[in-house]
Structure 1
Amino acid sequence: MSEVLVVAGPGVVADPGLLAEVAEREFAALGVRGELVHARDPAHLRSLVIGGTVVLPGPSAEARDLIGRPLGPVVWVDIERADGVTTGEGATHLHGRGVGGLAWGIRHAVHRTRHPSRRVSYGPSPEQWGDLYVPAGAAHAPVVALVHGGYWRSIWAADIMEPLCADLLGRGLAVWNLEYRRPDLHGWHATTTDVAAGLAALATPALQDAATGGEAAPGGGAGAFGGDSPLDLRRVVVAGHSAGAQLALRAVADGARVALAVSLAGVLDLVEGDRRWVSSGAVAAALGRRSTQEADPGEETAGVYAGASPLLRLPLGRRQLIVQGAADDLDLVDFSRRYARAAQEAGDDAEYLEMPGDHFAVITPSAPIWQATARAITAALT
């Protein structure tokens, strides 16, 4: 993609100059030409929307009606939270990330043009899918399954892992970028079962069809890849970022078979995460339980925490790489250091990698900490 059109619909509540600054900064960072246009009314907005456009629809009912129409791969961005929005086929809806959400929308539009993937459903929900990337001419390529974070909240989605998809693909690795139902809308059980099902989906005919360029069928059945598959399911890595690391390591503890589990700035101690009220009580909210800070939280609550917290599931019996930026939230640094030490003491093969970088450096391809992580992943798969 060399050109990006961003359209702000009528009534968008944001400073026009700030929107322009965000857009221009992303255009420059991505090396694309771009333009931001403010639509006068819904009719003008409709005339500007084509596949690939990034659109802030605004509050108008007529403008929002366009979101569900078959207008191609439009990236719809609501800067406020807007749950339950259904898009037309091929379109994407990002929401709840504030004015900065425009930057994510532009990144997503450029990424999916530069790095086409095949989307495969592993269940009936609109949020039960993964994007599969396969290197050109791949022959039994190792697979890295990515689990995004966002403190288990639905405003964050699989698009935040797309820079890693491109980087890993360039290293000759296949990538399975997993989406799942988040607990704020669907409950903790839906989230954990989705991650398990999403990882298990790697061994279904639907993924084989997608990997070989065939039509990917929703859901898929049981079975394993044949010998001509471009994917090597004996060499699978699962890597999760932040809350996604908790989900990834919990899935491994529950029996997901992987060659390596990678935590990228993970929330690995849910008991202390709750006690320290990380991200304004995100842990208790996600698990749907009373906080462990309360008097007598109950045996059931204690059991949920024991099953969910990676620290309490040790040993995992799988090789692990715990990656942590030194400039991240100090509680996350503490969780990662204590988890890595406990994993080693429990007999797990666990390597700890801490380098300069903040919470997002570990998922930024140009950052030294990600470069070191990618080298470790590649080495583990050879």
Structure 2
Amino acid sequence: MQYGVLRTADGPALGTVVLIHGGFWRGTPDYFDGPAPLAEALVARGWHVWQVEYRQTPNGGGFPATLDDTAAAVEHLAVAASSLGVEPGPVVTVGHSAGGHLAVWALSRPGGVLPLAGAVSLAGVLDLRLGEREAIGRGAVAAFLGGSSSQHPERYAAADPATRIVPALPVRVVHGRQDDVVPLNQSESYAEAARRAGQDVAVAVVDADHMAVIDPTRPAFDALLEALDEIRATVR
């Protein structure tokens, strides 16, 4: 299923967050609502939030449908904002877990028209080949891409943020040190590759487990706000 909800801040906004939920790219209906409190907290802090849904496995998602939906959702923000008379301002993709993967991947989406200012990953799966080797999420990476990297190297090349780095756009990463769902090495591996490529990237390790990084009452929320401010400051 593909849809979005645009929540608007009162008065002039700082910009727009494209908020993408996680769930290891698997079709669980309640995942869309998971980051709703985070969306509301961001709106209260002056950001518009475009919260989007995408097709997931086994319900029509996987490669390339999930990526296509993400790219289409980013572009559709312009339509949704115009229909409400909203000025998006700087647009930053923010995603949790598998949504973190999609948020960072969106910077390199083919044929992208709507400008993005950067991306924030909240405990995201940012190195798909590493995730495949470690079988995170009970083999979620291979399930998402329809097989192993040896079977489908072109799919991994098209989908892996760690090999699709956009040096001109900043990335910020927030990851919990107690995360036992998506290992911290996912963020560390991406950051190492991004720095080699000349990208402005930083990792904030916070006192949190996997779900606490989307809890606006926890310290991770302050780290997210700081990350958004840093990205916004790079917009000329």
Structure 2 residue 18 is matched with structure 1 residue 145: yes
RMSD across aligned C-alpha pairs, in angstroms? 1.8
Cα distance in 2 for partners of 1:179, 1:342 equals: 29
| Aligned equivalent of 1:199, options 57, 74, 87 | 74
Structure 2 residue 27 is matched with structure 1 residue 154: yes
Query: TM-score, normalising length from structure 2?
Result: 0.90
User: What's 2:131 paired with?
Assistant: 273
SS in 1 for 2:107: helix
CA displacement at 1:279 relative to structure 2: 1.2
Structure 2 residue 130 is matched with structure 1 residue 258: no
SS in 1 for 2:42: helix
Tell me the percent identity. 38
CA displacement at 1:371 relative to structure 2: 1.6
| Aligned equivalent of 2:92, options 212, 219, 237 | 237
User: What's 1:374 paired with?
Assistant: 225
Larger RCO of the pair (alpha carbons < 8 Å, separation 6+): 2
Cα distance in 2 for partners of 1:354, 1:320 equals: 14
User: What's 1:178 paired with?
Assistant: 52
User: What's 1:220 paired with?
Assistant: none
User: What's 1:285 paired with?
Assistant: 143
Contact 1:145–1:176 (CA under 8 A) maintained in structure 2: yes
Cα distance in 2 for partners of 1:313, 1:134 equals: 31
**Equivalence map 1:199-348=2 (5 Å):** 199-204=74-79, 206-209=80-83, 211-212=84-85, 230-233=86-89, 235-254=90-109, 256=112, 257-289=115-147, 291-292=148-149, 297-298=150-151, 301-329=152-180, 332-348=183-199
Contact 2:54–2:70 (CA under 8 A) maintained in structure 1: yes
Cα distance in 2 for partners of 1:184, 1:199 equals: 23
1:314-346: CA deviation from partner (whole Å, max 9, x where unpaired): 244311101111111286201101211221121
Q: For the pair shown, which has the larger CA radius of gyration, 1 or 2?
A: 1
User: What's 1:351 paired with?
Assistant: 202
1:332-373: CA deviation from partner (whole Å, max 9, x where unpaired): 201101211221121001111112111011100011122222
- The number of residues matched between the two structures is 228
Consecutive unaligned residues of structure 2, counting only runs of 5 or more, are none
1:40-98: CA deviation from partner (whole Å, max 9, x where unpaired): xxxxxxxxxxxxxxxxxxxxxxxxxxxxxxxxxxxxxxxxxxxxxxxxxxxxxxxxxxx
Contact 1:149–1:245 (CA under 8 A) maintained in structure 2: yes
Cα distance in 1 for partners of 2:220, 2:57 equals: 30
| CA gap 1:152/1:317 in 2 versus in 1, 3 angstroms | same
SS in 2 for 1:328: coil
Query: TM-score, normalising length from structure 1?
Result: 0.57
Consecutive unaligned residues of structure 1, counting only runs of 5 or more, are 1-126, 213-229
Counterpart residue identity of residue 24, structure 2: Y
